[in-house]
Chains A and B, each alone.
Chain A
Amino acid sequence: MNEIAMDEPSRSFSLARVPGVAWILGVLLIGFTAFSRDFLTGPNLHNIGLQSVILLILALPQTMIIMTEGVDIAMGAVLTLASVMLAWVLVHNGSLPLALAAALATGLMFGLANGMLVALLKMPPFVVTLGTMGVAQGLALIVTDGQSIVVNSDALQAVYGGSLAGMPLPLLIAVAVYAFSHVLLYHTRFGTYVFALGGNAEALKLAGIRANAYLIGVYVLGGLMAGLAALILTARMSSGHPTSAIGMEFDAIAAVVVGGTSFEHGKGWLFGTLLGVVAVGVLRNGLNLLAIPSSAQVACIGLLVIVALFIDGLKGKQ
């Protein structure tokens, strides 16, 4: 069980554990700096940061879900639905707090549903969330009738464009979410049980701990974060669109996997996910600068995941 010990943040910087993701990130940074003059500039780095915020908010809870040997592939669709709900409430009611509450409630419902189906009914997470993905996608289409809901709200604009003490608001939200996730995973009982759920759920049950409640909690967290991400997404696009975030869960899962979290044995670390998010963000941004279409970027990220999983598999055999 010394893997878990190594996941302590204080020890994760030792050179022996310089993880694959750091090398990947280094190669990407050097490569893009060499091939594109616009890459290593202040405005562009700022851009990468802003674009990675939503990804980070999704990837952090996804890390915990994957650590429990689960996965949530409905996240992109739930984010889309939450964004649509947020835009709808904002257009019909005008109150941003109420709209955010609607988005969070949407995420909460789906998180609860996913968690209960996985934890209580013991259904395989991949197929369960594939099903709820269809449901969320369908609801988003039904609510919007396939159209965008355009929002003209100064309050919403301020969320994406505003800044506090010189820091853009979305970045501050990202920092807060990271700090929250870090404390939750490494400094609370909840986090300890998340590690245990993936490593040995049976032992947890035998110790008389209500493992199911914690498993549901992890999925609920994923749903709530999707709801929060909806705020930033809707603000960025000034609209809710029924396909806006379809597939975004893949970028998040890619970031988690590239960041060194394993689908087996509850091995995972949040800082790796942060690096993974930056790697995916840098990859997308750099390919953009090189004028490579976003479709080809998806293929590149897919390859990145397969390579990362392959390395993961090699390490597992040792």
Chain B
Amino acid sequence: MSFALSKPGRFIGALTADLKTIAYRLAAAMVICVILTFASDAFLTTNNLLNVLRQASLLFLLASGLTLVILTAGLDLSVGANIGLSACIAASVMKLSGSALLGAASGVGVGMCIGVANGLLVALMRMPPFIATYGMLWVVHGITFWYMAGTTIYGFPSAFRALGSGYFLGVPIPVYLMFVFLTLGAFFAQRTTYGQEIYAIGANRESARLSGVPIARRLILVYTVSGAMAGLASLVFLARMNSAEGDIGEAFTLPAIAAVLIGGTSLFGGVGTVSGTLVGALILTLVLNGMNLLTLDASWQPLVTGVIVILAVFLDTLTRKRAEARK
């Protein structure tokens, strides 16, 4: 285990190891790009590439918080449902108050509250994360449908819509958000004590506890961050769609988990990076975009994403087995 807590040499060593895993994945993304360029004329156009980047950035925002959770050997299955409720509440507040800022704040706030609830269930009540967040998924989902009662809220101020569909210097605004949160996330995970403690919890919870890591508080922190990021992602999605319905977030859970796993973060905890998740989001978006361009219709997406998740977990399990055999 290479979570060096202080030694700069080992720290740089860990960092270059991360760069290597990311480099492999970036190479894979390039290969996909080359294949798609030959397979479809529509792929290598500015419009399509910007579109890929925009979709990947939304997925990354959601998956970056999830990465921290999975680093602690946890899982947050409620992120998709979270997007649904956060978006609907944000939309509703924005309509009632007329203030984009208030709407945005309430969206992130709702996401954060769901995250805190998950954190409390996992950290204080010691529930297995899978089951706690799976139960939360249905609670949140139910509340969303109840609240919306089949209605649609649409038409938001243009200042808010810029968050999802605006451009700055020819690049979509969500892409800037993606890089801001990549920097923040990578810094948080790699350069702060909090981040190192999160890795330590995932690598070996017992030894983390014995070396004085406040496990419950760090767990609550990661689930809260994951919830808040889902709230933020819901705003970007809402701004892009310009309408909110009850089932808005359903399709996001599986892709978000896929992005984290493709990015090299291990389900068993302690291994992975936020920047890897960005590459994972990019790869998944490229694959789905390619399918779209090759006129495979949208109903193929859950199937392909499901297969990708299984393959990613398979590789993850294999890597772990090899690492254990080496010990």
- Listed in ascending order, the chain A residues whose CB lies under 8 Å from chain B are 71, 73, 117, 121-124, 126-128, 130-139, 141-142, 145-146, 247, 250, 253, 257, 263-264, 293, 295-303, 305-306, 309-310, 313
Residues of the B chain whose Cβ atoms lie less than 8 Å from the Cβ of A117: 310, 314
Q: How far in angstroms is the closest Cβ of chain A from B68?
A: 17
Is the CB–CB distance between B142 and A302 below 8 Å? yes
Q: How far in angstroms is the closest Cβ of chain B from A266?
A: 15
Interface of A is mostly: helix
User: If the complex has contacts A117-B310, A131-B313, A146-B299, are A303 and B139 also in contact, measured as CB distance less than 8 A?
Assistant: yes
Query: Of B126, B139, B305, which is in contact with the most chain A CB atoms at under 10 Å from its CB?
Result: B139
Residues of the B chain whose Cβ atoms lie less than 8 Å from the Cβ of A138: 299-306
Is the CB–CB distance between B142 and A295 below 8 Å? yes
Across the interface, name the chain A residue whose C-beta is closest to B117.
A306
Name B83-109 residues within 8 Å CB distance of A. none
Residues of the A chain whose Cβ atoms lie less than 8 Å from the Cβ of B301: 138
Complex CA distance for A175 and B138, rounded to whole angstroms: 29
Name B64-84 residues within 8 Å CB distance of A. 75, 77
- Listed in ascending order, the chain B residues whose CB lies under 8 Å from chain A are 75, 77, 121, 125-128, 130-132, 134-146, 149, 246, 254, 257, 267, 299-307, 309-310, 313-314, 317, 321
Complex CA distance for A303 and B136, rounded to whole angstroms: 8
User: If the complex has contacts A134-B254, A299-B146, are A123 and B130 also in contact, measured as CB distance less than 8 A?
Assistant: no
Residues of the B chain whose Cβ atoms lie less than 8 Å from the Cβ of A298: 138-139, 141-142, 145
Is the CB–CB distance between A128 and B142 below 8 Å? no
User: If the complex has contacts A127-B267, A301-B138, are A122 and B321 also in contact, measured as CB distance less than 8 A?
Assistant: yes
Query: Of B126, B132, B138, which is in contact with the most chain A CB atoms at under 10 Å from its CB?
Result: B138
Specify which of A124, A139, A305 is in contact with B313 (CB 8 Å cutoff): A124
User: If the complex has contacts A123-B314, A127-B313, A302-B135, are A132 and B302 also in contact, measured as CB distance less than 8 A?
Assistant: no
Residues of the B chain whose Cβ atoms lie less than 8 Å from the Cβ of A264: 128
User: If the complex has contacts A71-B130, A132-B306, are A127 and B314 also in contact, measured as CB distance less than 8 A?
Assistant: no
Is the CB–CB distance between A295 and B313 below 8 Å? no
Residues of the A chain whose Cβ atoms lie less than 8 Å from the Cβ of B321: 122
Is the CB–CB distance between A131 and B138 below 8 Å? no
Complex CA distance for A306 and B137, rounded to whole angstroms: 11
Residues of the A chain whose Cβ atoms lie less than 8 Å from the Cβ of B130: 71, 126
Residues of the B chain whose Cβ atoms lie less than 8 Å from the Cβ of A293: 145-146, 149
Across the interface, name the chain A residue whose C-beta is closest to B149.
A293
Is the CB–CB distance between A124 and B267 below 8 Å? yes
Complex CA distance for A225 and B314, rounded to whole angstroms: 26
Residues of the A chain whose Cβ atoms lie less than 8 Å from the Cβ of B257: 127, 130
User: If the complex has contacts A126-B75, A295-B145, A309-B132, are A302 and B139 also in contact, measured as CB distance less than 8 A?
Assistant: yes
Across the interface, name the chain A residue whose C-beta is closest to B298.
A141
Complex CA distance for A297 and B127, rounded to whole angstroms: 23
Is the CB–CB distance between B125 and A313 below 8 Å? yes
Query: Of B77, B309, B314, which is in contact with the most chain A CB atoms at under 10 Å from its CB?
Result: B309
Is the CB–CB distance between A263 and B306 below 8 Å? no
Residues of the B chain whose Cβ atoms lie less than 8 Å from the Cβ of A141: 299, 302-303
Complex CA distance for A310 and B124, rounded to whole angstroms: 10
User: If the complex has contacts A121-B314, A293-B145, A299-B146, are A131 and B136 also in contact, measured as CB distance less than 8 A?
Assistant: no
Specify which of A142, A253, A263, A303 is in contact with B299 (CB 8 Å cutoff): A142
Complex CA distance for A301 and B137, rounded to whole angstroms: 11
Some 13 contacts from A to B, beta carbons below 8 A apart, are A117-B314, A122-B317, A131-B310, A134-B303, A134-B305, A139-B303, A142-B303, A295-B146, A296-B143, A296-B145, A299-B141, A306-B139, A310-B125
Residues of the B chain whose Cβ atoms lie less than 8 Å from the Cβ of A130: 77, 254, 257, 306, 309
Complex CA distance for A132 and B314, rounded to whole angstroms: 13
Across the interface, name the chain A residue whose C-beta is closest to B147.
A295
Q: How far in angstroms is the closest Cβ of chain B from A89?
A: 20
Residues of the B chain whose Cβ atoms lie less than 8 Å from the Cβ of A127: 75, 257, 267, 309, 313
Residues of the A chain whose Cβ atoms lie less than 8 Å from the Cβ of B307: 131, 134-135
Specify which of A123, A146, A302 is in contact with B136 (CB 8 Å cutoff): A302
Complex CA distance for A310 and B77, rounded to whole angstroms: 19
User: If the complex has contacts A296-B142, A299-B142, A306-B121, are A313 and B126 also in contact, measured as CB distance less than 8 A?
Assistant: yes
Residues of the B chain whose Cβ atoms lie less than 8 Å from the Cβ of A247: 138
Across the interface, name the chain A residue whose C-beta is closest to B127.
A309
Query: Of A138, A295, A296, which is in contact with the most chain B CB atoms at under 10 Å from its CB?
Result: A295
Complex CA distance for A133 and B305, rounded to whole angstroms: 10
Complex CA distance for A77 and B248, rounded to whole angstroms: 19
Complex CA distance for A295 and B137, rounded to whole angstroms: 12
Is the CB–CB distance between A131 and B302 below 8 Å? no
Q: How far in angstroms is the closest Cβ of chain A from B283?
A: 16
